[in-house]
């Protein structure tokens, strides 16, 4: 298989695997992803409200972890 064939396959998502290990089908923002990872990575484009809520919950959990770690450090 030539380099050109591999490049064309990568552009189409054929024979390329997603970082999670599944076959990749969608190329977006220089990443070739499977459908599930695409939904995760690019979800903010399709459903910005859901993405914002999820991101806010993640940040609150991070702040809680940092707070608990600082409390335990001084105990």
pLDDT at position 39, please? Answer: 77
For residue 9, the model assigns a pLDDT of 59
Both tokens of residue 67? 């707070």
Q: Is-contact 32 26, C-beta < 8 A?
A: yes
Q: Dihedral of the CA atoms 20, 22, 27, 30 (nearest 10)?
A: 30
Per-residue pLDDT, 41: 78
Query: What pLDDT is attached to residue 71?
Result: 73
What is the C-alpha separation between 15 and 57, in angstroms, rounded? 36
In sign, the C-alpha dihedral spanning 39, 43, 49, 50 is positive
Residues of the chain with pLDDT under 70: 1-15, 73-75
pTM, whole model, 2 decimals?
A: 0.41
Residue 31 forms beta bridges with which residues? 28
**What pLDDT is recorded for position 3?**
57
């Amino acid at each position: 298989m030539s380099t050109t064939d591999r490049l064309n396959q990568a552009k189409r998502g054929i024979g390329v695997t997603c970082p999670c290990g599944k076959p990749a089908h969608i190329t977006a923002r220089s990443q070739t992803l499977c459908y599930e990872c695409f939904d995760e990575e690019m979800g903010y484009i399709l459903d910005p409200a859901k993405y914002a809520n999820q991101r806010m919950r993640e940040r609150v959990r991070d702040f809680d972890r940092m707070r608990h770690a600082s409390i335990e450090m001084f105990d």
